[in-house]
Structures are given as structure tokens and as C-alpha cells.
């Protein structure tokens, strides 16, 4: 099945260039939503909920999962452009955002769900490599993306981040500290743009049966958690789209 892609090769290795542009480009009248972390979890559910009102630019590291998302979006009459890239690859993110600018000129919405979930451990046992990955994925990549995406959103666009109330709980040192820093970046941006735009929203999802949560709560009864698609719909309903 033909797909719109920003990268037809390995994740982060060969980002968008003119030779890999899709034949189909959505009309300029269609809204464009960028979702970072779209291959799994909440990002996938948000992508499905926004289509077909929005053309979805889906960023994730898992090619197969993005292709499955593309199939589901097409089945409901929507369209997507797949970007199998790693958000920590600065060059890939530069090319992604330049590609969005060259194709559509702007973004209507950016939803940032990508997260690195380091293993739980006492704070005095935090592994340096795990901490570095958390900083790179949750803080540095977020700051880079804000820098690149802000011009695409302009004054009228909207950026959405997702808070986690588990921050500060015991054993969540690497994840919690870097997730808190990510949201601190978002709050600063929110305050800076409150009068001039873009609109920046910070939402708090209810517990869902995601892969990230399964890493933290491996023995949890997942049947007691909130349906991921229902939660995506609830969160989107709180936004002024």
C-alpha cells in the first residue's frame, strides 16, 4: 500500500528530501496536526481521534506501528504522513519541520506525547546512561522541538503537552525529574505566549493501559484503567480547536 512518508529508510538516518516527497499532498484547506510519539499509546489514539478533520503528521520510531496507524486512519477516511524518526536526532527534526513548512507552510496543532521512561530505581542507584537518555529524550528534544515547531504554529496554532502526576513519587527519579523539566519548559512557553500565541495547553491524562505504564506497573490489572481512545477523546474535548 502506498504511503505518505517523510523517511522511507531507517529511523533518523535519511530524513525528508525532495526525492522522497509523497505524490499526494493534502489540500491547504485541511488542518495539519503534528504528533510526536504517534507510533504507540496516547499518541496513536490522538491521531485516530483527530483524523479525518486533520491530516496527521505522525512521528515515531517504530515503522510497523506507524504503518498500522496509517491503515486505521485511511479506513476512517483520513490521511497521514509518516515520519519514522527519533526526536533526539536534531538533524531529522530540522528536516521534518522544514518539510512541513515546504509542503503546507504551517501547522494547526502539535501534540507532544513522546517520552523516555527510564527503569524505576532508588535515587541513589540511578544509572548514568539511563539519566542521560531521559535528559536527551524528555528535556533536550522537547526544547529543540519547541524551537523548530513554534514558527510553524505562528500566532494561531496550538501546542499540547501532557503532565504526569506521578512525578516526585519514590523510585521515579530519572523519569520524574526529566518529565517535570519537560513540563516546566512547556509552562514557560505557555506564559510567554499567552497574549501573542500560539496557545500552549498542558493536560493531565487519566491512567491508561499504555506500554509506558506497563513498565512502571507490570502486575497491574489493566482492565481497571481508562480506555485509551476514550481518554484521547476526553482530552481533545477540553481543547479549543
Residues 6+ apart with CB under 8 A from 89: 12, 15
Rounded Cα distance between 168 and 183, Å, is: 13
Q: State yes or no: pLDDT of 239 exceeds 90.
A: yes
For 10-55, the pLDDT digits (tens) are 333 333 433 334 445 555 568 999 999 999 999 999 999 999 999 9
Q: Residue 121 pLDDT more than 90?
A: yes
Is residue 225 a contact partner of residue 207, using CB atoms and an 8 Å limit? yes
Write the CA distances from 8 to 101, 132, 211, 212, 218, integer angstroms: 19, 29, 26, 27, 34
The neighbouring-strand residues paired with 192 are none
For residue 6, the model assigns a pLDDT of: 67
| Tens digits of residue pLDDT in 166-218 | 888 999 999 999 999 999 999 999 999 999 999 999 999 998 888 888 888 88
Note the pLDDT of residue 168: 87
- Counting the structural domains of the chain, the total is 1
Q: What is the pTM of this model?
A: 0.89
What's 154's domain CATH number? 3.40.50.720
Going across the sheet that includes 80-84, the strands are 4-5, 80-84, 54-60, 31-36, 109-112, 158-162, 199-203
Domain that holds residue 66: 4-237
Distance (Å, whole) CA 176 – CA 104:
36
Amino acid at each position: 500500500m502506498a504511503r505518505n512518508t517523510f523517511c522511507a529508510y531507517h529511523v533518523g538516518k535519511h530524513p525528508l528530501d525532495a526525492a522522497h516527497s509523497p505524490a499526494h499532498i493534502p489540500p491547504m484547506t485541511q488542518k495539519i496536526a503534528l504528533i510526536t510519539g504517534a507510533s504507540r499509546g496516547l499518541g496513536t489514539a490522538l491521531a485516530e481521534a483527530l483524523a479525518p478533520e486533520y491530516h496527521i503528521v505522525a512521528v515515531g520510531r517504530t515503522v510497523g506501528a506507524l504503518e498500522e496507524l496509517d491503515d486505521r486512519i485511511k479506513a476512517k477516511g483520513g490521511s497521514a504522513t509518516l515520519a519514522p524518526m527519533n526526536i533526539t536526532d536534531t538533524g531529522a527534526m530540522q528536516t521534518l519541520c522544514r518539510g512541513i513548512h515546504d509542503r503546507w507552510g504551517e501547522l494547526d496543532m502539535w501534540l507532544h506525547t513522546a517520552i523516555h521512561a527510564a527503569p524505576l530505581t532508588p535515587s541513589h542507584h540511578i544509572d548514568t546512561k539511563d539519566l542521560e537518555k531521559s535528559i536527551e529524550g524528555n528535556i533536550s528534544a522537547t526544547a529543540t522541538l519547541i524551537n523548530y515547531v513554534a514558527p510553524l504554529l505562528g500566532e494561531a496554532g496550538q501546542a499540547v503537552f501532557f503532565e504526569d502526576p506521578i512525578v516526585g513519587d519514590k523510585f521515579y527519579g530519572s523519569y520524574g525529574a526529566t518529565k517535570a523539566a519537560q513540563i516546566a519548559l512547556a509552562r514557560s512557553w505557555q506564559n510567554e505566549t499567552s497574549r501573542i500565541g500560539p496557545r500552549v495547553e498542558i493536560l493531565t491524562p487519566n491512567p491508561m493501559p499504555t506500554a509506558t505504564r506497563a513498565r512502571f506497573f507490570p502486575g497491574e490489572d489493566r482492565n481497571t484503567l481508562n480506555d485509551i481512545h476514550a481518554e484521547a477523546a476526553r482530552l481533545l474535548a477540553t481543547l479549543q480547536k
